[in-house]
Amino acid sequence: MTIVSVLEWIESTDLSTTIREGALPYPIIGGVHLLAIALFGGMVLATDLRLLGWAMVRQPVSDVVRQFRRWKQSGFVLVISSGLLLGWGEPLKLFRSPSFWIKMALLILVGVHALVFQNGVYRNPTRLDEALTPRAKLAAALSLILWAGLIVSGRLIAYDD
């Protein structure tokens, strides 16, 4: 069983056909994906900008990091699940899209980023209330770069034909 045959099976499912060929499902799921990017992406940006000392500087770092965590997690789940549905609709197209694979590589780097910086920055933000560490700033800068890369590569998927 090859990967392509699995993808062909996915594309033959009713759900995939409905997402791909229905008038409304694709734009609606795409709209949810975009809204989740605005909501979740905005919170990621706000957290990163706070860690860099560029925004919300009057508010304690720990408040910003802690209060947005749950929302970022919910947004992440929403982005991933709507993205999975979009992918379920046209798996063969994505398989052949270089931008899609760049986006997946960046997503893996997001996971690596979380593992590397979880303990030093995001899980123990109280220490950062006194002074922002170089490590926290590096975490924020890398997060912003990954974030921008995800948006660009995601948008480019539509042009990979």
Partner 1 sequence: MILASSVFEWLATSPWANAMNGPEWAFPVVQSLHFMGFALSIGTIAIVDLRLLGLAARKQTAAQLAADLAPWTRAGLAVMLITGFLMFSADAVRYRVNPSFQFKMTFLALALLFHFTLHRWATGARVAPLTARLAGGMSLALWTAVVGAGRMIAFV
What x-and-dash track marks residues 36-55 binding partner 1 by CB under 8 A? -xxxxxxx-xx--x-----x
Span from 65-73, 84-92, 107-115, 116-124 in contact with partner 1 (CB under 8 A): 65-73
71 contributes a contact to partner 1 by CB under 8 A: yes
H-helix segments, the chain: 3-12, 14-21, 25-51, 61-89, 91-95, 98-117, 134-156
In the three-class reduction of DSSP (H, G, I as helix; E, B as strand; rest coil), residue 96 is classed as coil
Task: Residue 65: name the closest of 76, 52, 77 by CA.
Answer: 52
Q: In angstroms, what is the minimal distance from the CB of 145 to partner 1? A: 12
Pattern 110-149, binding to partner 1, x per CB under 8 A?
--------------------------------------x-
27 contacts partner 1 (rule: CB under 8 A)? yes
Strand, coil or helix: what is 147?
helix
